[in-house]
């Protein structure tokens, strides 16, 4: 490895670690004060909130690594630009592409590590942190989920939901058992599907069974409005989330859902996003190098950091927007997950070429 490449690698990693620690500190402080009231209301000790944040830390790190490497690249080249090192290197015939080689290698390494980190550490810790939030803080111990099956204990009722689709707030294959004060079954509803509208659940193709001591009355309904003991947010809270599953687990989950005839579009987008998001580390390295090397000395280091924060914000907004319209089935899953990367990759390459 050339001396310049060693120097760039060392400086970028040094600034990367510093920025990562600063961003983690800010994120944890904001998240702690944002959720402190919930832990206090739940009667939990302060130690529980620290354990919750500690378990959530891998997910936070996985989300902010692309931003941190972008800022690290901008700070490193910004310092070199301030000390006239960029001008000196260019005057000696060293091109931008030569300086970019170690940056690209770092971006590639971080992309691979981020994917592996999201596969190994994040699913385990997020499952535990979500369990603390649901059971201990939100007191949703009456709701249990195994794979796609959801059981809900309400006010003298037990509800079974075979599958919940958070995209359109629909439930598939529902069974609701109602009990009297002596816990005797008095009514049962079985529906093929249901949708949440105007504060109520609308069930379709319903079989209603009313039981009494003498007879069992059965009634069929094409549509039935029912006020159930749970809301869509309650279901969304307990279903297994994409960040709690590895790539293979999510792929297996999608295959099972589609094999049973259910729509898995949202989960497909999450699957492709597991590959697309780590790749953003490379993109941020390209964009950061192009902008930092092209900037003039008078711009100052603070301007470079401002550029970095602005670019990271635009990327995150556009990335989230693409995923949202993908969930709405406007874009195919793979395009929804990769569009932001493609747009910012083109922007980064053009910026790098102009810098040269």
pTM listed for this prediction: 0.79
Same domain, yes or no, for 46 and 133? yes
Q: Classify residue 196: in a domain, yes or no.
A: yes
Share of the chain above pLDDT 90, in %: 25
Q: Are 78 and 167 in the same domain?
A: no
Compute the half-sphere exposure of residue 102: CA atoms within 13 Å on the CB side of its CA. 17
Same domain for 284 and 200, yes or no, is no
Residues 207 and 230: their CA atoms lie apart, in Å, by 20
Which residues is 149 bridged to in the sheet?
146
Domain extent, residue 278, equals 3-138+261-355
pLDDT in tens, 172-182: 888 888 888 77
325 found inside a domain: yes
Quick one: how far is CA 15 from the chain centroid?
26
Residues 103 and 193 in one domain: no
pLDDT value for 319 = 94
Residue 76 CB burial class (10 angstroms; 0-12, 13-18, ≥19)? buried
Q: pLDDT tens across 29-73, in order?
A: 888 888 877 777 777 777 788 888 888 899 999 999 999 999 999
For residues 134 and 170, state if they share a domain: no
130-139 confidence digits (pLDDT tens): 878 777 776 6
What residues form DSSP beta bridges with 223? 204
Q: Is residue 7 located within the same domain as residue 133?
A: yes
Of 169, 204, 238, the position where a domain reaches its end is 238
Residue 356 has pLDDT above 70, yes or no: no
Average the pLDDT over 296-304 and give the result. 64
84 by DSSP, 3-state: which?
coil
- Report residue 265's pLDDT band, with 50, 70 and 90 as the boundaries: confident
285 falls within a domain: yes
Tokens, residue 257? 């859902």
Same domain membership, residue 79 and residue 153 = no
| Residue 129 and residue 265 in one domain | yes
How deeply is 129 buried, as exposed, middle or buried, from its count of CB atoms within 10 A (0-12, 13-18, 19+)? buried
Same domain, yes or no, for 16 and 54?
A: yes
In-domain check, residue 252: no
Do 229 and 289 reside in the same domain of the chain?
A: no
Contact predicate 289/96, CB 8 Å:
yes
Distance separating alpha carbons of residues 214 and 124, to the nearest angstrom = 52
Examine residue 250 and state whether it is found in any structural domain, yes or no.
no
Same domain, 234 and 271: no
Task: Let me know whether 36 and 120 are in one domain.
Answer: yes
Q: Does residue 244 belong to any structural domain of this protein?
A: no
How far, in Å, CA of 59 to CA of 47, rounded? 20
Phi, psi dihedrals of residue 195, rounded to the nearest 5°: -130, 150
Q: How confident is the model at residue 298 (pLDDT cuts 50, 70, 90)?
A: low
* 246 within domain boundaries: no
**The total number of structural domains that make up the chain:** 2
Domain boundary among 204, 238, 272: 238
Q: How far apart are CA 241 and CA 116, in angstroms?
A: 18
- Classify residue 152: in a domain, yes or no: yes
Q: Are 42 and 137 in contact (CB under 8 A)?
A: yes
How many Å apart are CA 49 and CA 35, to the nearest integer? 8
pLDDT, position 141 = 47
């Amino acid at each position: 490895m050339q001396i310049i490449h060693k120097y760039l690698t060392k400086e970028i990693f040094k600034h990367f670690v510093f920025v990562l620690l600063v961003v983690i500190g800010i994120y944890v402080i904001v998240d702690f004060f944002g959720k402190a009231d919930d832990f206090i209301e739940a009667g939990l000790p302060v130690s529980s909130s620290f354990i919750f944040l500690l378990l959530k830390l891998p997910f936070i790190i996985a989300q902010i690594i692309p931003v941190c490497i972008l800022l690290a690249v901008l700070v490193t080249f910004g310092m070199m630009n301030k000390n006239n090192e960029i001008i000196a290197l260019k005057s000696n015939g060293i091109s931008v592409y030569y300086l970019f080689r170690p940056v690209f290698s770092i971006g590639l390494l971080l992309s691979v590590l981020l994917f592996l980190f999201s596969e190994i550490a994040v699913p385990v810790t997020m499952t535990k942190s979500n369990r603390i939030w649901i059971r201990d803080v939100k007191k949703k111990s009456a709701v249990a989920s195994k794979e796609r099956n959801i059981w809900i204990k309400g006010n003298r009722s037990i509800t079974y939901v075979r599958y919940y689709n958070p995209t359109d707030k629909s439930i598939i294959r529902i069974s609701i058992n109602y009990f009297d004060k002596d816990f005797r079954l008095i009514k049962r509803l079985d529906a093929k599907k249901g949708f949440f509208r105007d504060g109520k659940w609308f069930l379709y193709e319903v079989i209603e069974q009313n039981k009494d001591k003498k007879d069992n009355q059965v009634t069929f309904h094409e549509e039935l409005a029912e006020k159930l003991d749970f809301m869509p947010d309650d279901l969304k809270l307990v279903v297994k989330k994409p960040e709690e599953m590895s790539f293979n687990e999510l792929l297996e989950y999608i295959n099972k859902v589609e094999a049973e005839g259910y729509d898995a579009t949202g989960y497909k987008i999450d699957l492709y996003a597991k590959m697309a998001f780590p790749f953003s580390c490379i993109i941020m390295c390209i964009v950061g190098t192009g902008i930092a090397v092209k900037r003039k000395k008078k711009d100052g280091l603070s301007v470079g950091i401002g550029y970095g924060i602005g670019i990271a914000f635009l990327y995150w907004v556009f990335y989230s927007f693409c995923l949202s319209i993908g969930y709405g089935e406007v874009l195919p899953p793979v395009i929804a997950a990769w569009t932001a990367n493609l747009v910012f990759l083109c922007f980064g390459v053009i910026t790098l070429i102009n810098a040269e």
